[in-house]
């Protein structure tokens, strides 16, 4: 993984996941940036480039879990799936606010 570019990461994900091009590009860039930050690619890279968490939302079956599982495998990191539904308020509905 350490030598893979975001394009190569996307190509690897393309072997296993159909569609979701925007999501694959976004997580590939995030993974590469996290690796570069951990390697200490200098102060210039780290300034203003803070790690960001990724929240993938969408209906069941669109590939969220599989993208995360494949990224973990590429990064040689553990993958743990946790169902958080029981921790949310009953009847919670996301609402888009307008300014």
CA distance 64 to 18: 12
- Whether the model pTM is above 0.85: no
Q: What are the C-alpha distances in Å from 11 to residues 41, 42, 74, 88?
A: 24, 28, 12, 35
CA distance 74 to 1: 6
CATH of 6-87, one of 3.30.300.20, 1.10.274.10, 1.10.150.120, 3.40.50.300: 3.40.50.300
Question: Do the Cβ atoms of 70 and 17 come closer than 8 Å?
Answer: yes
The pLDDT tens digits of the residues spanning 20-54 come to 899 999 999 888 887 877 676 655 655 666 666 78
């Amino acid at each position: 993984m350490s030598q893979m570019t975001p394009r190569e990461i996307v190509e690897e994900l393309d072997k296993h996941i159909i569609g979701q091009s925007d999501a694959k590009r976004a997580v590939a860039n995030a993974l590469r940036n996290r690796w570069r930050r951990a390697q200490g690619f200098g102060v210039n890279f780290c300034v203003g480039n803070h790690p960001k968490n990724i929240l993938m939302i969408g209906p069941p079956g669109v590939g969220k879990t599989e993208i995360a599982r494949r990224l973990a495998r590429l990064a040689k990191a553990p993958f743990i799936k946790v169902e958080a539904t029981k921790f949310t308020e009953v009847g919670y509905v996301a609402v888009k606010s307008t300014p």
